[in-house]
Amino acid sequence: MAIHPLAVVDPEASVHPDASIGPFCCLRGKVVVEAGVELRNHVTVYGRTTIGRGSILFPNCVIASDPQDLKFRGEDSEVRIGANCRIHEYVTISKGTAGGGMLTSLGDDCLVMAGAHVAHDCRLGDRVVLGNNSQLAGHVVVGRRATISGMCGVHHFATIGELTFIGAMSGVRYDAPPYCIVDGHPAEVRSLNIVGLRRDGVPDDEIRVLKDVFRALFHDKAPMSEGLVRARDLLPAQETRAHRLVAWAAEHLEASIKGRIQEAHRVAHAAASAQTNGTAQANGKAHANGAVAMNGHANGNGHVNGNGHADGHVATEAKPLTG
């Protein structure tokens, strides 16, 4: 075990004999450093953290710092870094919170470039690439072999699909589908990630099916519901990645939300609607003394139906409630 005399290692830390801890590194708390790990210098790691075998942490990165979350109350949460990861200079990785499963994790063979931030409760799969100065907000989930280019911002609760490529300086507000290239501010689905699919060993015949399914879902001007019907007709009998892409589209269409981001909003909205003053009837009628109709709104002291017509003094245009 090579621990530099200028390193500070907590007695509670567990360092494998084959690991290397460089000068001015600080391990505080129940840190577990597995075989072959190298902490170059000026690396700070707080417990409870596990650094997988063969990983390299470069100068001035900070692992398992307290979350930048006002709800954090000092809970004993955790960070897990997989095997053979490379965490470059000035990277910050926050530990989990009680509201997100108490865990922030990176899979095996991840590359996190200089200046990137992985917030509390994020879950990164294997072989994820996070570019320079990109920022993942809390609760983000990143699928296997996804690439997030430099200077991207990913909104909290967003999910980045498997083999998805996010273009540089993109602002990702909603879930990004698997196997696609997503780019822009706000980020939008642009095309299929054919290069990434080939690098992952996907055969050409499966890529051709994915192209047809992608075109039906995202490039045709018809509504997603119609595109989903056409995409299902294109699926082969055997389970393929095209089935997963269609399943992703069906799930998002059924939920009627733009990804996991809206989960908390929809729950809060439903609770507020249930407590609305007055009585709301199933046929869309409501009293205008503060009650809200299912299919319309009203002002004044009259009744309003779902079409916006008033029985009393004033009625407003009917608008469907949205989540």
pLDDT digits (tens, 9 = 90+) for 114-168: 999 999 999 999 999 999 999 999 999 999 999 999 999 999 999 999 999 999 9
Identify whether 320 is part of a domain.
yes
Would you put residue 73 in left (φ > 0), alpha (ψ -120 to 50) or beta? alpha
211 in the same domain as 180 = no
228 vs 69, 99, 231, 235, 247, CA distance in Å? 38, 34, 5, 11, 9
**293 is in which domain, residue-wise?**
276-323
180 in the same domain as 144 = yes
Q: Which of 158, 176, 199 is the last residue of a domain?
A: 199
298 in the same domain as 154 = no
Instruction: Work out the average pLDDT over 302-317.
Output: 39
302 in the same domain as 156 = no
Identify whether 269 is part of a domain.
no
pLDDT confidence of residue 257: 56
Identify whether 260 is part of a domain.
no
CATH of the domain at 104: 2.160.10.10
Is a pLDDT exceeding 60 seen at residue 264? no
pLDDT tens-digit map of 219-233: 888 888 899 999 999
Residue 44: strand pairing partners:
26, 62
175 in the same domain as 61 = yes
Tokens linked to 117: 């931030």
227 in the same domain as 281 = no
Count of domains in the chain? 3
103 in the same domain as 26 = yes
What does the angle CA 286 – CA 290 – CA 294 come to, to the nearest 5 degrees? 35
Identify whether 85 is part of a domain.
yes
Can you tell me the distance from the alpha carbon of 13 to that of 51, in angstroms, rounded to the nearest whole number?
12
* Catalytic residue list: 120-121, 138
176 in the same domain as 127 = yes
Which residues, other chains included, contact 15 with Cβ-Cβ below 8 Å and sequence gap of 6+? 1, 3, 9, 21, 27, 31, 33
Mean pLDDT of the chain: 85
Identify whether 226 is part of a domain.
yes
Identify whether 265 is part of a domain.
no
Can you tell me the distance from the alpha carbon of 265 to that of 70, in angstroms, rounded to the nearest whole number?
18
168 in the same domain as 142 = yes
pLDDT confidence of residue 221: 80
What 3-state class would DSSP assign to 263? helix
Identify whether 266 is part of a domain.
no
* Lowest-pLDDT choice from 3-7, 180-184, 269-273: 269-273
Identify whether 261 is part of a domain.
no
194 in the same domain as 285 = no
